[in-house]
Every structure is written in C-alpha cells, then in structure tokens.
Amino acid sequence: MRGVRLAVVGALVVVAVLMQSVALLAVAGPAAPSFASEQGFPGTGAYWEPTVAVDPSSSYVYQAVTYINASKTCSACPGTAIFVRASSDGGQTWGPAHPIYLAGGKGWQYDPQLKVATDGTVYAVFLQTFDPGSVLFKSTDHGATWAGPYTMNGNLTYNDKPILEISPSGRDVYVAFNVKTASYVAVSHDYGQTFTLVKTSNETLWWYTYGGTYDPVDGSVLFAQVGEAGTKTNGAGKTLTNGGHTGGLEKVFVLRMDHAGTSWTNTYIDPSATPTPCAVSGCYSDYFAAQASVAVDPAGGLLLAYTMNTANGTPKGLYVRTSTDGVHWSSRALVNGLGDSNFPSVASGPTAGDFRLAWQDNRNNACWDCGGLGDWNTWYMRTTNDGGKWTADVQLSNLGSGAGYKTPSGYAFPDGDYFGLAVSPSTGVNYLIWGEADGSSIYCCGGAWYTSGV
C-alpha cells in the first residue's frame, strides 16, 4: 500500500515510480498502523488460500485454510480439505484446526470463504470438486460442528472459485462463482437452505470473482471481478477447463446486484495486459493475473482496489477508485508502483471513509520478471477519508527467518491466489492471513501466516 506514498510536510512531492511510467502524487495519511509480529498457522501441512472472518457481535475470530494433501495426516479426509479454527478472545489464543467436511474421504476441496452473522452463526463456502461445486456449511457453536452441505449448482455440472457475501442477519446469502466462460451468482433468502441461480455475465470471458461486499444502506451486494480472454491451457498446449489463460486481455469489472437478486449491472472499470510469468512447477499462466477487491463503509461509500498493467508481461501497479452507487466510479489513483503488485484485499473500518488495503509484491527482488520467485512481502495501508490520504505502507511479513523459504528480504513465493483480511466493526482491529511458500511447486511447500493490529 505503500507505493510511492508521500510523506508531505508542506508541498506535494512528485515521485517517479520505479519500473512504472506513471508518477504518483500523494500525501501523508493517518498515523502509522501497528501490528503484531507475524505467526505461522500451526502444523506442518501445506496451507493454501487462507481466509479470516470476525464475529460482528463478539470477540470471536475464525481462520480457514486449504490443507493440501490433508489425507496424509487425516485418514478420513479427502485428498485436500478445508480446515478451520476459532479464537474466542480476538485472536490472542486459538483452538485446534479441524476439517469442516470429511466428504467420506473422497474428492478434494479448495477456495474457502468465511462470514459471520450478527447472531454468531458462521457461514463457510468452499469448492467440493467441480461437481457439486460450491457448497455451504453453517455452524452455530463457533465452528465445532457444521450443518450441510447445502448445494447451489442447480443444473450446472461445473463451478469454480466461489466468493461469499451475507446480509448482517445471515438471511440473505450470495455466492458468486465462475462457470467457465460465464459468471453466476447463487442467491438465497432463507439462510442458505435453497438457492436461485442468476447468470450475470454478458461477455464470453473466463470470469473470476475475487472480492465482494454487502451494502448495509440499500441491501445491494457487489462483487469485484476480472474477465480473462484467450485460450485456457496448462502451458503445454492442452486445453483444460481450469488451466491458465494465454494471450488475452483481462478486464476489471464491478458487479452490483440488488438485494432481491433480480436485477444487476456489470460496470467495466479497466483493461489489463497479460501478467508477468510464473515459473513455479505446475503454475498457471494467469497466476499473477489482474485481481480486484471491493468494500463498502457504514455510510454506503465504496472503494475498489485492483491490480493492472498496460503492457504484456510487465509489473502491475495497485490502483483504487471510489463510488457512491457502485456504477459510477472516480478516476483511478495509483497507490503502489513498486515491484509487481498482486492479490489485493480491501475491507472497511467502523466509520465512514475508513478503508484498509493489503496486498503482496516483490519490490525487493531485482528480477521481478524472473518467474515470480524470490523476495515477496505482504503489505498494508489505511485511509480514513475515502482514499484521499493513506498511511505509509506497513510490511506485515516482518520475519526474515522461521521457515526455509524466508529471508530478510522476503519469502520465496506467494502461496495461494488470494488471502484474507477482516476488520472488527467494534474495535477496528485488522485480522490478516496470507500464504508463503518455497516455490518448489504451486501446491508445495509452504504455510499460512497471520497477524493483527490497528
């Protein structure tokens, strides 16, 4: 979040951004945030796609991870399983991690999502193979036991990459997911018991949703999406249903759906060129593709954060835009131009205009285009006036040791293609969890790391 953030004491300073042709103007923002030192998610597993959620009415916090090869230590688990754990004291101490759904030991699970309703009910959505696809579970005892699965694929035989949003009560549940070259939202108004499918794409693109938010003012739901053009391949010429895309433009969108789920608009924000390469074994060609995240504050103000580049194979900058209706957006503002920015996550704080932004970049690496290996870090910044001023960026991955893939300049690879950021609406405390790995393979070997702070 850092970017070229100007600590301006009198006049604005124009700073030429390293490896970017755009100059960024900014001013010093709120006081510098303070975070605890990062900690590793316990255990020896390869933890991917970590996420976090806070209870809006208590001090409970929840973390979930995709446990790669979970069956090696959990004989009843499917090959890869979603594990969850809970903290009753705001993240000071944690209970043990355990699987949400054993699935008879069959199949695999990916893409966990967590949300908590005001009555304390925990909602979890993840992928249980491509068919039945996204499944919903609910817990009323702080994650000890789970009801489900509640399916939502209807007549579909494939869906991927779910993003979950709920209304404060939990009565209204929205899950956006990819159906190859189409985008759908599964809508429920009975606490996730049943769902209606709404197709929301109007272009033939590979649609991926990366973040969402529920507007407490008008009850609408918004999702930040990227549509990828080009052929889907595994990098060796074989067309797949879930490989990386090659040779196509990426388009950033914001999808806004009314509360009922009966009408929607999809606003085109920006194009992005093809991403920097990923040389890790098994990596997709679009692993470092443009991504986007959106959040709404208590007054209904919106902030969109997204990554993009303007030339094929070059580093992406991190940009933000603001809106009051989810359809009309301000001009983009660059908030980070160091290294290759990836995996942005944004959340709102307890007051209007308060937004928190986190991402991963490799600014410390002298070779940003060498396949994505080496010197990655996780960063954070905050604004309290709708993005007008930002804090200096704070490095959250602050340990230069503790794992074989950590050095003083960063970790070897950003494991998992997104990560978790949640903010307590009562205390304003930020909770983050992200993936780090050694880069030996896309699914091995690394772990999840987390921190909290204000």
pLDDT digits (tens, 9 = 90+) for 254-279: 999 999 999 999 999 999 999 999 99
> Which residue ranges make up each domain of the chain?
33-453
Cα–Cα distances in angstroms (integers) from residue 227 to residues 180, 201, 255, 270, 341, in the given order:
11, 9, 12, 11, 18
pLDDT in tens, 219-255: 999 999 999 997 554 443 333 333 444 457 899 999 9
Residue 6 has pLDDT above 80, yes or no: no
CB 66 within 8 A of CB 111: yes
Structure tokens at 287: 């692993």
Judge contact between 300 and 324, C-beta under 8 A.
yes
Least confident range of 6-20, 64-78, 102-116, 208-222: 6-20
pLDDT of amino acid 14: 33
Q: Which of 275, 339, 332, 280 is nearest to 306 (CA)?
A: 332
Q: What is the mean pLDDT of residues 368-396?
A: 94
State pLDDT tens for residues 297-340. Answer: 999 999 999 999 999 999 999 999 999 999 999 999 999 999 99
Which pLDDT does position 367 carry in this prediction?
Answer: 85
pLDDT at 44: 82
Q: What is the DSSP string of 337-375?
A: -SS--EEEEEEE-SSTT-EEEEEEE-TT-S-TTSSS-S-
Q: Would you call 90 exposed, middle or buried from its count of C-beta atoms within 10 A (0-12, 13-18, 19+)? A: middle
**What is the token pair recorded at 378?**
């996780």
pLDDT tier at 107, thresholds 50, 70, 90: very high
Q: Kindly state the percentage of the chain with pLDDT values over 70.
A: 90
Closest to 180 (Cα-Cα) out of 227, 241, 231, 221: 241
Confidence category of residue 3, pLDDT binned at 50, 70, 90: very low
pLDDT at 414 over 90: yes
pLDDT at residue 2 above 60?
no
* CA 193 to chain centroid: 25
Query: Quick check: 317 and 336 in contact, CB under 8 A?
Result: yes
Determine the pLDDT at residue 417. Answer: 87
Please state the φ and ψ torsions of residue 185, each to the nearest 5 degrees: -125, 125
Check: CB of residue 5 under 8 Å from CB of residue 392: yes
Residue range 387-400: mean pLDDT, rounded? 96
Nearest CA among 257, 255, 249 for reference residue 311 = 249
Contacts of 429 (CB under 8 A, 6+ apart): 90, 91, 423, 452, 453, 454
Residues forming a β-bridge with 449? 40, 434
pLDDT at 157 over 90: yes
User: Residue 370's CB: how many other CB atoms inside 10 A?
Assistant: 13
Quick check: 177 pLDDT over 50?
yes
Per-residue pLDDT at 29:
56
Tell whether the model's pLDDT for residue 121 goes beyond 70: yes
Residue 100 pLDDT greater than 90, yes or no: yes
Residues 158-169 pLDDT 10s: 999 999 999 999
Residue 114: name the closest of 64, 149, 168, 161 by CA.
Answer: 64
Strand order in the sheet with 333-336: 292-296, 302-308, 317-323, 333-336
User: What pLDDT score was predicted for residue 339?
Assistant: 95
Q: pLDDT at residue 63 above 90?
A: yes
Using alpha carbons only, give the angle 147, 424, 173 rounded to the nearest 5 degrees. Answer: 40
Q: What residues have CB less than 8 Å from 303, skipping those under 6 apart?
A: 294, 295, 297, 320, 321, 322, 346, 348, 355, 383, 386, 387
Separation between Cα atoms, residue 409 and residue 413, nearest integer Å: 12
94 vs 96: CA distance, rounded Å: 7
User: What is the assigned CATH class of domain 33-453?
Assistant: mainly beta
Residues in the chain: 454
Q: Strands 355-361 and 377-383: what pairing?
A: antiparallel
C-alpha closest to that of 300 among 351, 356, 254: 351
Mean pLDDT along residues 124-140: 98
Q: How confident is the model at residue 79 (pLDDT cuts 50, 70, 90)?
A: very high
Residue 409 is predicted with a pLDDT of: 96
Distance (Å) of CA 239 to CA 205, 244, 423: 15, 9, 40
Predicted model pTM: 0.91
- What pLDDT was estimated at residue 312? 93
| pLDDT value for 45 | 84
**Nearest partner of 251 among 235, 240, 266, judged by Cα:** 266
- Backbone phi, psi, residue 104, to 5°: 65, 20
Between CA 397 and CA 406 the distance in angstroms is 9
Can you tell me the distance from the alpha carbon of 423 to that of 374, in angstroms, rounded to the nearest whole number? Answer: 29
Q: What is the pLDDT of residue 22?
A: 36
Are 254 and 263 in contact, with CB atoms under 8 Å apart?
Answer: no
CA distance 350 to 136: 28
Average predicted confidence (pLDDT) for the chain: 90
pLDDT given for residue 208 in this prediction: 96
pLDDT band with cut points at 50, 70 and 90 for residue 369: confident
**pLDDT confidence of 383, banded at 50, 70, 90?**
very high
**H or E element in which residue 407 lies:** strand 406-407
CA–CA separation, 316 vs 229, rounded Å?
Answer: 18
234 or 49: which leads in pLDDT = 49
Higher pLDDT, 20 or 291: 291
The pLDDT of residue 82 is above 70: yes
* Span 39-54, average pLDDT: 94
Distance between CA 450 and CA 454 in Å, rounded? 14
Q: What is the pLDDT of residue 17?
A: 35
Q: CA 99 → CA 103, 243, 305, distances in Å? A: 10, 27, 32
CA distance 293 to 221: 13
